[in-house]
Copies of this chain bind each other. A is one copy, B any other.
Amino acid sequence: MGELRVTRTNLSDGRELLYFDEPGTPERTASDFRDLARVQTESWMRRDPLTGDWAIYAAHRQNRTFLPPANEDPLAPTRLGQHPSEIPEDDYQITVFENRFPSLSMHLGFAEGHDPYVGGNELFHRAPALGRCEVVCFTPDADGSFKDLPLARKRALIDVWAQRTEELEAIDDVALVFPFENRGEEIGVTLHHPHGQIYSYPFVPPRAAAIAKQARTHRSSRSTSLFDEIIAAELHAGDRVIADTPHFLVFTPAAAKWPLEIMVMAKRAVPSFPHLTSEERDDLAAILDSLFRAVDMFFEGVERTPYIAAWNQAPAKSPDDGRLHLQLFSLMRSPGRMKYLAGSESGMGVWVSDTTPESVASKMRQLYVPD
């Protein structure tokens, strides 16, 4: 496979759009003729003095597109006689563009000279929600899915995640780059057309911060890598392993908290996508091909398992504190029944599961067919 060709352009409101194409694809030259006004992005972050956590306030998102009719699919290519979409070309392989209704943005009018406190009170830190929210389209087919992409397209997506991570980490304000996919109306997806997203946070999010803390503690007390030890321990236990390839381990973590949860972790000290070798990317693409097929067979009678595919990368400024891993999880407990995050989970942060990691892994092993 040759290197992807990147074509950069801008939408009519100034947002950046990139096409990623296999070599030999016709040039991407179409323009966005919609004459869109730029959405006034007013995202602030505030830090909760009780917990120390940042939350993001993006009131302009109330007006974002919600389950549009099929003929107004904003992620379809723009074909002759059809409603113009976010993608001016009449076909595409993979495109990435800035979200029109972003939670985080580098275009905030008030970013300079703002009051760093809510109402001037130093207990309530606030800051412009600098960062970037990107949409990743990987198929022009509104009824498609990541699972159904040809292997080569999955492999290309890994290169796209790597290219985006490298470029986004180079932005001064960016602390962590988070590619993910929300799939299924059951989890609140507002656009049917399958798509991924990339959030670039201006702070290290709570999960990544917790992992970094554990990694540092482990390193200083045991002089070994937490991630290496997890890989070794899961391999040794075996009963939660779903697949073991040359470069990755596929397993249900020993303390998985979601009803269906699978982790794909790099065996080597790889902080993020850009650090993967070409051979490792081939290996990973083949895993994803098998894994997402298996996940859609997990619940009987459910054709499309709702899921969140969360690509955990190390903080941009402390690569040793993280390890590239996919946390793929579903809130579905059984066909048609979802797990709700009620008092214990939402109120106190304690997850209660009514399954075991071992039983999930056992079922996944039966469904997982290596490429």
Contact = CB atoms under 8 A, between A and B. Distances in A.
Interface of A: 46-62, 103, 118-119, 121, 123-124, 178, 180-182, 187-189, 197, 199, 201, 205-208, 210-211, 213-214, 226, 229-230, 233, 236-237, 239, 253-257, 308, 310, 312, 327, 329, 331, 338-344, 346-356
A112 B258 CA distance: 28
Contacts of A233: 121, 123-124
A213 B255 CA distance: 24
Contacts of A197: 343
A208 B355 CA distance: 26
A119 B210 CA distance: 24
Nearest to A198: B343
Contacts of A201: 348, 350
A51 B215 CA distance: 9
Nearest to A353: B57
Nearest to A50: B211
A201 to B, nearest CB: 7
Contacts of A50: 210-211, 214, 226, 230, 253
A54 B350 contact: yes
16 contacts: A46-B255, A47-B255, A48-B253, A48-B255, A49-B230, A52-B213, A56-B353, A57-B355, A59-B354, A61-B352, A62-B354, A119-B254, A121-B236, A178-B347, A187-B340, A312-B347
A308 B345 CA distance: 11
A188 B255 contact: no
B123 A229 contact: yes
A355 B62 contact: yes
A347 B348 CA distance: 17
Contacts of A354: 57-62
Contacts of A180: 343-344, 347
Contact of A356 (B57, B199, B210): B57
Contacts of A341: 341
Most buried by B among A118, A187, A339: A118
A346 B308 contact: yes
A55 B351 contact: yes
A30 to B, nearest CB: 30
B342 A182 contact: yes
